[in-house]
Amino acid sequence: MVKVREYVEHDLDSVLEVENASFKFPYSKEIFTELLRQKSTRMLVAEDIDGRIIGYILYSIKSGKCLLISIAVLPEYRRLGVGSMLMQMLLKEVSGNVKQVELQVGCKNFDAIKFYLKFNFKIVGVIPKYYPDGEDAYFMVKILD
């Protein structure tokens, strides 16, 4: 049984574990701290039956748009619906408050691209050399009703 709830400050170390297990270029503790200081930024966490944080979704709402900053799930919990639960909660939270959700994803991150397409995100552009290793990113948008 997985539960999604609002992030609280003492979750940060567990979120960093998920981050470091998920990305080639993970955000640092300082970056998370700075992002979460901003009033426009929110995070939801997913925890397993034992209360262990197994995933998170970090996003910001500004000017009628939601920017999906990051979503990650521990490798051993992927493909079990945790990421979908987090995305559904995000979409439910922002529905009626924003017109669209935007994100950037590595052009070679095929699993993530497939995940976003499942939620009707559309590729609307390419950002050259977005990542530190020079990989390009797709700019994807989902228009909300």
Q: Report the CATH number at residue 139.
A: 3.40.630.30
Quote the pTM value: 0.94
> In which domain, by residue range, is 97 found?
3-143
The answer to whether residues 67 and 59 touch, using CB atoms and an 8 Å cutoff, is yes
Residues 19-57: tens digit of each pLDDT:
999 998 999 999 999 999 999 999 999 999 999 999 999
Question: Would you say residue 145 has pLDDT above 80?
Answer: no
Confidence tier at 137 by pLDDT (50, 70, 90): very high
User: Is pLDDT at 106 greater than 80 in this prediction?
Assistant: yes
Query: HEC states along the chain?
Result: CCEEEECCHHHHHHHHHHHHHHCCCCCCHHHHHHHHHCCCEEEEEEECCCCCEEEEEEEEEECCEEEEEEEEECHHHCCCCHHHHHHHHHHHHHECCECEEEEEEECCCHHHHHHHHHCCCEEEEEECCCCCCCCCEEEEEEECC
Number of domains in the chain: 1
